[in-house]
Structure 1
Amino acid sequence: MIRTFGTVMTRMLISMGRRRRARKKRKRKISGPTTVTTRTTPGSSSISTLTLQPLIDVLVSRYASVDSEDVNFDSIAKSVLEQCVKTRDELGELHERDDLGRPYLLISPSDEADLLEMLEARSRNGLSVAEAIILRKLKLQRHMRTHKLSPPVLRPKISSGLTGLAPACKPPEPDPEVLKALYGVQTTPYKSSFLSRLNGFSVGRAPVVAADWEARSPWMDLMEDIRAHYALKFLGREVVQESLAPITYVTLTAEHLPQVHDLLHRSFWSGIDVSDSLRHMPEQVTIVAMYKRLLVGCAILSSPAETYITYLAVRAGWENAQIATAMLFHLISRNPNKDITLHVSANNPAMLLYNRFGFKAEEFVVDFYEDYLDPQSRMSKNAFRLRLRR
């Protein structure tokens, strides 16, 4: 019975305009129940299913006020049953099927306009989901017709079979000659490498006595802070990354002399010259500390026979990095079984360093540095004579 009311509603919609398009009727036998849908223009892929709710609402509102036992759903349906059957038979030959095999019914543009107007009027009181979909599709068809837009084409059916990927091409075999040449490359020894030249060593120079990768001086921390602040201030500029390097301890060579003389001049007094140390077994009586190509400390004995420490100095900014301790240790290790002596100013903090190695005060010399220290110097002119007995 519900399907019969659907046919009646379709008949009512078609009868609004009464302007059917002339076309050749084609009879087709439709088996089973038919769902009434609408398509605005032939060939369009927009299909809308009509709902029976508006018709039911009209009938309920019409007969709700009638107070009679004879007025019920069956009596109302009986009055239009014959017309419904006749309408179904007449409309049966107008049904066509879309690309998906679903039946649809052609309606004229005027009928479409009337249906659109009716749905828009009902939208004020709220539409069902099906009515809202039909209204949206009708508006879309009108927009496409106004702007001469072509309807979307149904996507072709995709086959369920999967096509396997083509096998990947096998990479070509490497050239044996190239592999042989690569395997023949040998590691460059450090003493002959470019890195050794950057750090101040080259072929023929004295080998490295020791290298300290863990020591950190105030100067190194300061340079790191400067680079960090520069990177924050100039975000768009490229910041050169500082390469890590150890503090290395080597024997004094002729290339070190200018930096050694400058360091001793700043630490003690001007006019100091230690060139003679290169002629008295320098690998036994000298030790210098280098950071890359910068000399940061030196320690020198007078001679292998006398073993008197004439100078021990560390560059300003490189304190508290155990540089003086390392240089003194290597000097003592290079001269075993020999007593080592030195003089140190009475208020020099280096006195604590010498005490840790076992040096003992043997003599107090008054005005030992009177002829060497500047009158404005804060260092005491008096000195202690220390000895390390072996």
Structure 2
Amino acid sequence: MRVTRASMTLDDLVDFFGTERENRSSDDLEDNSDFEDFMDSILPECLEARCQMQDDDCRADNAGAFLRPLTRYEVSAAIKHASTFGTATIPSAVQAVILRKLKLHRERHRTGVQGLNFVDSNSLTSLPAQLAPQSPSSGIFDSLNAIRTTHYETSFLSRLSGHRPSKYSGLIAVDWETRSPWMELMTDVREHYSYAHPVRAQLLEAPVPIHYVSMQASHLQQVHDLLARAFWDGIDVSELLQYSPERCSVVAMYGKTVVGVALLSSPQEAYITYLAVRAGWDNSHIATTMLYHLITLNPHRDITLHVSANNPAMLLYNRFGFKAEEFIAGFYENYLDSQSRASMNAFRLRLRR
């Protein structure tokens, strides 16, 4: 197949400029004539360079025929010609494939993506024949079925959570010595499992301390749940985050679990609004530690609070030096349920500094 150069004259472009030149005033005729003379002088050189570039792009196919890649204009013209038929005729499979390849070629030019390189078919080697699938031996299934537990260090959970202790923001204190009833119960469960299944791999318990930190936004959901269980529903302490939480809050954390919380209304008022410990973590001096740090964070200020008349926390407050100033009858009537064991009456306590 012989490669012939397509007509590369710019007659249409020249005619267009000529039409525009007739519509302009006589003052512009001289400028347009200069432009036309300039274009006529460089046009043969541009066309020759274009022909040379297209000749350089010619490649021989497997049959020895020389082929030239389509230009952008030729690709757009072919797509436009195929699109003029619209939906009147259904293109054949070959026509549809050619049209898609033309559109892909155009988009590659727009985005600057290079096309696929030609590969010599003689350089290709066939893949080896696929082996017939073989059923695994029974020993493999026995080994898989024998797995009961996975060590945490090699488990998928360790990849998600990691084994390094997380860095708590607003850290106040770390307690490695306290052992709560819940922690002792979990230890008993692990020991019972190890005694019942001695041949299985045993998980090593990594010691986790209790962290005392300032309240963060990530604690709100657990804090609200803890206060609802300890007092009543509907308690919202999210506004405390706007009033110096580093001085008005102490949250006890075991891992990522909130096990206790102590809150002040504000540094100026210094009124203890809530002090609560999660069930299973009481009688472990967690409330004592939180109250101590809350008082320490607000020195030289009197601290007040209200406590139910039959609340055992009265003994805790007395140990810190709180004194009763007032007895208020029915203080909790609007908050506690009528069947609650807590007294509706309250004492107003003050710690004078």
Matched, 1:359 2:322: yes
Matched, 1:259 2:231: no
Distance 2:331 2:341 in 1: 14
Distance 1:233 1:319 in 2: 30
Give the structure 2 partner of residue 302 of structure 1: 265
Give the structure 1 partner of residue 255 of structure 2: 292
Distance 1:280 1:302 in 2: 8
Kindly indicate whether structure 1 or structure 2 has the higher relative contact order, using CA contacts under 8 Å at least 6 residues apart: 1
1:168-205 alpha-carbon deviations (Å, 9 max, x no partner): xxxxxxxxxxxxxxxxxxxxxxxxx96233xxx36xx3
1:233-288 alpha-carbon deviations (Å, 9 max, x no partner): 12222222211011110000011111100100100000001001100000000110
Give the structure 2 partner of residue 242 of structure 1: 205
Give the structure 1 partner of residue 188 of structure 2: 225
Tell me which amino acid in the other structure corresponds to 1:227: R
Matched, 1:379 2:342: yes
Give the structure 2 partner of residue 196 of structure 1: 165
Give the structure 1 partner of residue 233 of structure 2: 270
Task: State TM-score, norm by structure 1.
Answer: 0.48
Q: The residue matched to 2:208 in structure 1 has which SS?
A: coil
Larger displacement relative to structure 2 (231-240 or 369-378): 231-240
Report the CA distance between 1:320 and its aligned residue: 1.5
- Which stretches in structure 2 are left out of the alignment for 5+ residues? 1-161
Give the structure 2 partner of residue 346 of structure 1: 309
Q: How does 1:91-240 map onto structure 2 within 5 Å?
A: 195-197=164-166, 201=167, 205-206=169-170, 208-240=171-203
Tell me which amino acid in the other structure corresponds to 1:330: H
Q: How does 1:45-124 map onto structure 2 within 5 Å?
A: none
The Cα RMSD (Å) is 1.2
Distance 1:236 1:375 in 2: 54
Q: The residue matched to 1:358 in structure 2 has which SS?
A: coil
Distance 2:190 2:330 in 1: 46
Distance 2:309 2:247 in 1: 28
Distance 2:165 2:177 in 1: 19
Matched, 1:317 2:286: no
Distance 1:195 1:323 in 2: 24
Tell me which amino acid in the other structure corresponds to 2:210: I
Give the structure 1 partner of residue 352 of structure 2: 389
Report the CA distance between 1:301 and its aligned residue: 0.3
Q: State the number of aligned residues.
A: 192
- Which stretches in structure 1 are left out of the alignment for 5+ residues? 1-192
Distance 2:163 2:218 in 1: 18
Task: State TM-score, norm by structure 2.
Answer: 0.53
After the TM superposition, which parts of structure 1 deviate over 6 Å for at least 4 consecutive aligned residues? none
Give the structure 1 partner of residue 122 of structure 2: none
1:35-89 alpha-carbon deviations (Å, 9 max, x no partner): xxxxxxxxxxxxxxxxxxxxxxxxxxxxxxxxxxxxxxxxxxxxxxxxxxxxxxx
Tell me which amino acid in the other structure corresponds to 1:338: R
